[in-house]
A and B are shown apart, each in its own frame.
Chain A
Amino acid sequence: EVQLVQSGPEVKKPGESLKITCKTSGYSFTSYWIGWVRQMPGKGPEWMGIIYPRDSETRYSPSFEGHVTISADKSTNTAYLHWSSLEASDTAVYYCGKVYGGTYYLFDFWGQGTLVTVSS
Chain B
Amino acid sequence: DIVMIQSPDSLAVSLGERATINCESSQSVLYSSNNKNHLAWYQQKPGQPPKLLISWASTRESGVPDRFSGSGSGTDFTLTISSLQAEDVALYYCQQYFVSPGTFGQGTKVEIK
| Interface residues of A, Cβ cutoff 8 Å to B | 43-48, 59, 61-63, 95, 97, 100, 103-108, 110-113
Contacts and interface: CB of A to CB of B under 8 A. Distances in A.
B101 A61 contact: yes
A104 B100 contact: yes
B49 A47 contact: no
A59 B97 CA distance: 14
A113 B97 contact: no
Contacts of B106: 43-44
A99 B49 CA distance: 15
Interface in B20-78: 38, 40, 42, 48-52, 55, 61
B102 interface: yes
Given A45-B104, A63-B101, A112 B38 contact: no
Main secondary structure of the interface of B (DSSP, over half): loop
Interface of B: 38, 40, 42, 48-52, 55, 61, 93, 95-107
Contacts, number: 64
Contacts of A108: 52, 55, 61
B71 to A, nearest CB: 18
B40 A110 contact: no
Contacts of A46: 101, 103-104
B93 A105 contact: no
Contacts of A97: 49
Contacts of A48: 101
Contact of A106 (B48, B55, B105): B55
A113 B101 contact: no
